[in-house]
Structure 1
Amino acid sequence: MATGSASQDPRPVLIVTGLVQEAKIAAGPGMTVICSSSDPAQLRALLAGFDPTTIRGVISFGVAGGLDPQLKSGAVIVATEVMAGERCWQACETLSEELIAGAGIGQKVFRGGLAGVEKVVTGQVGKAALRSGTGAAAVDMESHIAAGYAAAAGLPFAALRVVSDPAHRALPELATTAIKPNGDIDLAKVMRGIARNPLVIRALVSTGRDFNRALRSLRDCRSFFLGETSLVSAEV
């Protein structure tokens, strides 16, 4: 991300995340990171109090739920657009290409739309309906809010998301409700849920594997901000 006029602008880029793990990966020089704790209302409140003149762009960064059946967990998506309801925000192509075209090793990135939602889409049926209605490659709870903020402030916007749960994977409810207000996992709540329903363990293990794979891929993506890694584009 050191090409064009942006390289002459000393202001940081705002990185919008939903989970503490994502925020820790994104943190570094030249970045201002905020974390919503998977709470859209909290993210809107954070952005409402944020001065847009202190940043030069906005990037939504983190994991996402897969909608395109072709995408496996760990697949990297750089968004072409973000859709939520009747709204649609186009990603800044220059900023997106800077995410894709850094120098270094090659890693495949998919280009596609992101769907923005207010609640986690857990089931296969819900994912399929969202895919059918929007054509989006993946879904998350932050990108549409970040895109709207950037548009209102006249700032360039891009989104880099990594698929965690693929389209065929139904998330157990416990995986989506055991998140503390600060974004940490509530292990006590997880253990209570397992005690009540031991059969959920298998689904949690599968979800955990997907999530860890996505985080590993996301860590690899951190160097994209520093221009250390190149991505090989693949259209979705």
Structure 2
Amino acid sequence: MTLGTGDYLTAGNAIDPRPILIVTGLVQEARIAAGPGMAVICSSSSPTQLRALLTVLDPNTIRGVISFGVAGGLDPTLRSGDVVLATEVLSGDTRWAAGLSLGNDLIDRLTSGRRRVVRGSLAGAEEVVTGRSGKAALHSETGASAVDMESHIAAAYAAEAGLPFAAVRVISDPAHRALPALARAAIKPNGQIDLAAVLRGIVRNPATLHALVSTGIDFNRALRSLRGCRDFLIGTELIESEPMVSKAA
């Protein structure tokens, strides 16, 4: 799925008509990001699909890559709606640096209201990390603030293409909350929510309703916060950085 391509100006005096590639996992995230100067792709929460989409994308047609969307919280101090500006992305034994530059006015806007903005690392995962114990173990192992299924793939693509990379992720399910299996199963291949599947699951197991409601509240709070980050995409200057650093043995 690709949305919102268009011409845009880079920071400074140079003009670069190429858009920034925005990598998302859900259609809701893609709709928020779409607009002039953005080429948006949506993986439908499938790492395999995202890799396939990037395989056919010519890196010469874009000027940078930003991973943009929600994430699972690993740092127990973070709550739904908090924004993580990535300093690096980790997956296995590989780390990718993430760089961006924000003007003071953009920082002020990002931190306005109840939105909290932190800088930290993101862990990349091939599957959704659902349970509290799994999140705690991943946090202990990596020290990452949050986890998602797109940032490590986007970072690897940017590094291979020699493009600047950044990641902006908003906490949806905090570290203390387990993500219900029904919530994961209800995501359609296009990234939309299968409401019929949700209703059938609730009928089969009414006890899941409370967990789904709590998850939905967190998710909607994260999307509201993500919308507040939309202007940031326009004002961002991507910084060239060391694309890849392997962990010491």
TM score, norm. by length of structure 1: 0.91
- Asked if the contact 1:100/1:109 (under 8 Å) is kept, the reply is no
Unmatched tracts of structure 2, length 5 or more: 1-8, 237-249
Q: Could you report, residue by residue, the CA deviation over 1:61-89 in whole angstroms, capped at 9, with x for unpaired residues?
A: 00000000111100001100000111110
Q: What secondary structure sits across from 1:102 in the alignment?
A: helix
Once the two structures are superposed, the pairs formed by residues 27-106 of structure 1 within 5 Å of their partners are 27-92=34-99, 96-98=100-102, 102=106, 105=109
- Asked if the contact 2:89/2:124 (under 8 Å) is kept, the reply is yes
In the alignment, which residue of structure 1 is the partner of 2:27?
20
153-162 or 185-194: bigger deviation = 185-194
- Deviation for aligned residue 1:195: 0.9
Q: For the aligned residues, what is the CA RMSD?
A: 1.8
More helix by share: 1
In the alignment, which residue of structure 1 is the partner of 2:166?
158
CA distance in 1, matches of 2:23, 2:88: 16
Give aligned-pair identity as a percent: 69
Unmatched tracts of structure 1, length 5 or more: 229-236
**1:27 is aligned with what amino acid?**
A
Q: What secondary structure sits across from 1:211 in the alignment?
A: helix
Count of residues in correspondence between the two structures? 224
> 1:83/1:53 Cα in 2 relative to 1: closer, same or farther (>3 Å)?
same
Once the two structures are superposed, the pairs formed by residues 219-230 of structure 1 within 5 Å of their partners are 219-227=227-235
In the alignment, which residue of structure 1 is the partner of 2:6?
none
Runs of 4+ in 1 over 4 A off after TM superposition: none
> 1:56/1:101 Cα in 2 relative to 1: closer, same or farther (>3 Å)?
farther
CA distance in 2, matches of 1:82, 1:126: 18
**1:43 is aligned with what amino acid?**
L
